[in-house]
């Protein structure tokens, strides 16, 4: 089961669908055009951006432990990462 950050960052493209997307992902169902900002799977990374369709693979199911953001595109996920850094809640 995916653990969700209580201060989840959500992109504008999917803000209306946030609760529906979270329910689907908790049931291990992929969502189209949804990208997750997660804890890094590699210790050299800051955070990972993963397409939700990748969650069907055991590798990602086993390694994703906490989600910090949801975005409607890869570009929007990158913008959310910048916003997270600007807010000062993240150190690297």
DSSP 8-class letter at 17 = G
Q: Kindly give the confidence (pLDDT) of every residue in the chain, 92 residues in length, as a single tens digit, with 9 standing for 90 and above.
A: 789 988 899 999 999 999 999 999 988 887 889 999 998 888 888 889 999 988 888 887 777 778 999 999 999 999 999 998 898 766 55
Residue 91 has a pLDDT of 57
CB 21 within 8 A of CB 14: yes
Name the residue among 25, 84, 32, 78 with its Cα closest to residue 55: 25
- Cα maximum dimension of the chain: 34
- Output the pLDDT for position 90: 64
């Amino acid at each position: 089961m995916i653990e969700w950050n209580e201060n989840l960052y959500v992109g504008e493209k999917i803000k209306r669908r946030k609760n529906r997307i979270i329910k689907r992902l908790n049931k291990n169902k992929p969502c189209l055009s949804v990208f997750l900002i997660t804890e890094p799977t590699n210790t050299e990374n800051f955070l990972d951006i993963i397409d939700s369709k990748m969650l069907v693979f055991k590798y990602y199911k086993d390694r994703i432990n906490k989600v910090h953001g949801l975005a409607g595109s890869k570009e929007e996920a990158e913008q959310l990462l910048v916003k997270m850094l600007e807010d000062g809640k993240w150190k690297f």
